[in-house]
Structure 1
């Protein structure tokens, strides 16, 4: 029980003193200092919607990057085969590679918008470091057959 209370208080104090995040040219900043994508993910975990949007953006980035790399690899591999052997050059691998590159463009296109939405949602909750519970914070004592305790609602 002590561990749960200590973890809860640490999370609570971390969330209170959190700063607003800015996103410029694919990098994340807090007060002008760059932070990593992992630190950004941890900060965005305090808001479910922003964490979901950020996870979707990173999933799109991973999938789109894989498909783009696959397309480039197929195209360059077929070019190398055509240059160093007597096989006909634009074979099915080249067309499959160009198709994969074309498919990766729409996959990658929506990731920046989702990251910006996630940052905007996070910053909306963290304006003036209030965390959105400025007016609706209450602490009360509760009791039941198992004992007494404190209830915190925000």
Structure 2
């Protein structure tokens, strides 16, 4: 049982160091591997401010993309109706589509900056990666309902 605990502890220690995130070309990478939005949200759960900012940016992206698509779709549909029938073109649908496209521009702007800021906040919250026993370790005596013990942080 002690050997199993030791193996699990060593394995847990080896993967416990968080890796920094990189935001390039609209994608988030960790150790050169691209992360999905779901994986990024799971990583950012430890830093609530970064997670909130990331979710806010993704909400802006979804809402702005929906409005842009709705505007383009309405304009194209009205154009198709105007070309295939005797209806006078442009109608109110075209103007509504152009309006939706115009509204989506300020909504979509600033989302990349928000994602970059959330990644920067997350990376700033990470502890320094180079941990050695020589200068960065703590030895504490702890007491809880199970008894007294030693806790080593390194």
Q: Aligned partners of 1:128 and 1:46: how far apart in 2?
A: 16
Q: Aligned partners of 1:96 and 1:149: how far apart in 2?
A: 70
Answer yes or no: is 1:101 the counterpart of 2:93: no
Number of matched pairs: 135
Q: Aligned partners of 2:24 and 2:36: how far apart in 1?
A: 13
Q: Deviation above 3 Å: which 4+ runs of structure 1?
A: 12-16, 134-140, 147-150
How far the C-alpha of 1:15 sits from its partner, in A, is 8.2
How far the C-alpha of 1:30 sits from its partner, in A, is 1.2
- Map of 1:3 onto structure 2: none
How far the C-alpha of 1:148 sits from its partner, in A, is 7.0
TM-score computed with the length of structure 1 as normaliser: 0.76
Give per-residue Cα distances to partners, 1:85-141, cap 9 Å, x unaligned: 0000111000000000000000000211110110000000114248xxx79997742
Answer yes or no: is 1:141 the counterpart of 2:146: no
Q: Aligned partners of 1:82 and 1:137: how far apart in 2?
A: 78
Runs of 5+ consecutive residues of structure 2 not aligned to the other structure: 1-8, 131-135
Answer yes or no: is 1:71 the counterpart of 2:60: no
- Map of 1:6 onto structure 2: none
Give per-residue Cα distances to partners, 1:23-54, cap 9 Å, x unaligned: 00111111222222211111111100000000
Mapped contact 1:64–1:105 kept (Cα < 8 A): yes
Runs of 5+ consecutive residues of structure 1 not aligned to the other structure: 1-8
- Map of 2:30 onto structure 1: 30
What does 1:119-138 align with in structure 2 at a 5 Å threshold?
119-129=119-129
Q: Aligned partners of 2:32 and 2:20: how far apart in 1?
A: 10
Mapped contact 1:67–1:104 kept (Cα < 8 A): yes
User: Cα gap change, 1:136/1:115 in structure 2, threshold over 3 Å: closer, same or farther?
Assistant: farther
When the two chains are superposed, the root-mean-square deviation of aligned CA atoms in Å is 2.8
Q: Aligned partners of 1:35 and 1:79: how far apart in 2?
A: 39
